[in-house]
Chains A and B, each alone.
Chain A
């Protein structure tokens, strides 16, 4: 069976500090990978997705970036955090060729102070 991990589970960072969130998937090969952000009381906003190693597509211009150094590893980064970066960050995966449903990880709660 497939499992998706995210860490850390919670993070409190000061404004201007760097960020690195990690997501790994087990039990599948060549998945599509996604990063979402969920602001309090709001829906999910797609930030980045990747269809393969080194292939990153950005949906929302901002001070965040993503990388996929290995097939089942997806990393979300920032050089300098803003207050507006606070939120619940979710990683998701799906089978590359389909079906199309995405499966989500447990999430990381980021608070920028």
Chain B
């Protein structure tokens, strides 16, 4: 059974204080790992897809990396508008229509 664990559950940062969010996964064959951002009361917004270990993707202050066991979402010099819940999900090679989601990390950036 595929499993995704995100840590920490909640993270408080000061504006400009860089940090990383962790997504540990167990999957028999990884087709892709996905990062989403979710604001309160809204649907998740797609950020990145990573397909293989060593791959990195960047968007503004966010950078996602992937190893064979985990993914990190690095946030550089965060701003208050980066406050949101960040969700990680995996897709198994043998389950092409299913995303297995982690519980998310709630990020709060204080000015």
Contacts and interface: CB of A to CB of B under 8 A. Distances in A.
Contact of B102 (A43, A49, A104): A43
Given A100-B31, A100-B49, A100-B91, A46 B99 contact: yes
B78 interface: no
B105 to A, nearest CB: 11
Interface string B4-37: 1000000000000000000000000001101010
Interface stretch (A65-73, A77-85, A105-113): A105-113
A21 interface: no
B97 interface: yes
9 contacts: A32-B97, A43-B103, A44-B89, A99-B49, A100-B32, A101-B34, A101-B46, A104-B36, A106-B43
Where chain A touches its partner, the secondary structure class is strand
Contacts, number: 51
A51 B97 CA distance: 9
A90 B44 contact: yes
Given A99-B49, A100-B49, A101-B34, A107 B103 contact: no
Interface residues of A, number: 22
B87 A44 contact: yes
A43 B42 contact: no
B46 A107 contact: no
B103 A42 contact: yes
A104 B103 contact: no
A43 B32 CA distance: 18
Interface string B40-71: 01111110010000000000000000000000
A107 B43 contact: yes
B42 A102 contact: no
Given A49-B97, A57-B97, A100-B32, A43 B46 contact: no
Nearest to A103: B46
